[in-house]
Amino acid sequence: MKALQWQGDHLLILNQTKLPFEEQYREAYSYTDVADAIKGMEVRGAPAIGAAAAFGYALGALKYQGHIDDFKNTMEEVRSTLEGTRPTAVNLSWALNKMEDKFREYNDSQDIETIRTALVKEAEDIAEDDRRMNRLIGEYGNTVVPEKANILTHCNTGSLATVEYGTALGIIRAAHESGKKVHVYAGETRPFLQGARLTVWELVQDQIPMTLITDNMAGYLMQQGKIDMVVVGADRIATNGDTANKIGTYTLAVLAAAHDIPFYIAAPTTTIDLKISSGNEIPIEERDANEVRSIMGVKIVPDDVQVYNPSFDITPSKYISGIITEKGIVTAPYSVNMLKLLVK
């Protein structure tokens, strides 16, 4: 099952807020439809968000009915709307930069249809690149997975979080497909339960052995010697290797370090943001308090209870054993080796 499917004149988006009990799709015919889906977590995961935004930008061009002279202003509004949906995942701005660069190539053209065709092609290329990169991440990541391993993962980093296959979950898939005996411990990932609802669902579909745990059980499992490695995804990686990922990742990294367990980040190089030097510069999205006050629509505390709901945290690079990308595995010193990797 795919999170995104381009249909020629609209984007079909699997509504992940309904999984695993209902398979519901949004037919996005406009860029505002795509923006709403991203903001509402119907589509999520940094690579999937980037690809969805690219198609949203293309839809903005497809639906434009004005004169060529006003086209640029309209596309600036399209970009602004899409970019404002979620601030932490850098793949969003990366994909929109690619789309805007392609638009500028044709800015002097008087043929709007030519521009539309070029933008749709660019969005399709972005999606195809994500598929390719995920497969390579899986191949590189599989080299650090033991023949028999209990792997802890956090949030959802599979096909639902990407265009196809996945990043951290793609590594687990690659290990399983190669015949290794892997068993996955999936943290539930409160408050949105991406691990319980989505990762578990994907693992069951692929018949990969797994066990669901609550987030606060991870330390105990490590203490009992039941975790061999931790593999998670990323929404933005700073030049020094500091990584923003789903809230709770930092806790797992510290616990892994305390128990001498390898802790890996899996992400395409498009998630690396060379414009920022450290995690202190990464903007952290804070989401609606009601996501914490309730679980799947069922209230667990009164409405007036004060809530803090940051969607991400920052894991300092000193806790990261390696960053697995489509170009290879980066290790410390990250500020040096990250640049070497990107110029390959």
For residue 332, give Cα distances in angstroms to 136, 160, 279, 335: 21, 30, 16, 8
| Domain range enclosing 224 | 137-342
For residue 43, give Cα distances in angstroms to 28, 39, 320: 12, 8, 27
What pLDDT does 343 receive? Answer: 82
Is the same domain home to 39 and 112? yes
In the chain, the number of structural domains is: 2
Among the candidates 108, 135, 162, a domain finishes at 135
Give the pTM. 0.93
Is the same domain home to 160 and 221? yes
Is the same domain home to 14 and 105? yes
Catalytic residue (one of 235, 242, 273, 313): 235
**From first to last of its 344 residues, what are the pLDDT tens digits of the chain?**
799 999 999 999 999 999 999 999 999 999 999 999 999 999 999 999 999 999 999 999 999 988 887 899 999 999 999 999 998 889 999 999 999 999 998 876 778 899 999 999 999 999 999 999 999 999 999 999 999 999 999 999 999 999 999 999 999 999 999 999 999 999 999 999 999 999 999 999 999 999 999 999 999 999 999 999 999 999 999 999 999 999 999 999 999 999 999 999 999 999 999 999 999 999 999 999 999 999 988 999 999 999 999 999 999 999 999 999 999 999 999 999 999 988 87
Domain of 21, CATH number, reads: 1.20.120.420
Strand order in the sheet with 236-238: 272-273, 236-238, 243-246, 312-315
- 210 — alpha (psi -120 to 50), left (phi > 0) or beta? beta
Alpha carbons 230 and 252: distance in angstroms, whole number: 8
DSSP states of 235-280 as a string? Answer: SEEETTS-EEEETTHHHHHHHHHHTT--EEEE--GGGEETT-SSGG
Q: Residue 231 belongs to what H/E stretch?
A: strand 229-232
Cβ proximity of 132 and 160 under 8 Å: no
For residue 171, give Cα distances in angstroms to 122, 166, 233, 265: 27, 8, 11, 11
Is the same domain home to 184 and 245? yes
Domain of 214, CATH number, reads: 3.40.50.10470
Picking from 54, 10, 59, 16, the residue whose alpha carbon sits closest to that of residue 270 is 54
Is the same domain home to 205 and 332? yes
Alpha carbons 208 and 17: distance in angstroms, whole number: 23
Is the same domain home to 288 and 319? yes
Catalytic: 129? no
Is the same domain home to 192 and 111? no
Is the same domain home to 131 and 144? no
Among the candidates 118, 135, 152, a domain finishes at 135
Is the same domain home to 124 and 149? no
Amino acid at 87: P
Is the same domain home to 92 and 215? no
- The DSSP secondary-structure symbol of 196 reads I
Is the same domain home to 188 and 202? yes
Among the candidates 106, 135, 164, a domain finishes at 135
Mapped onto helix, strand or coil, the DSSP state of residue 289 is coil
Is the same domain home to 276 and 220? yes
Alpha carbons 47 and 25: distance in angstroms, whole number: 19
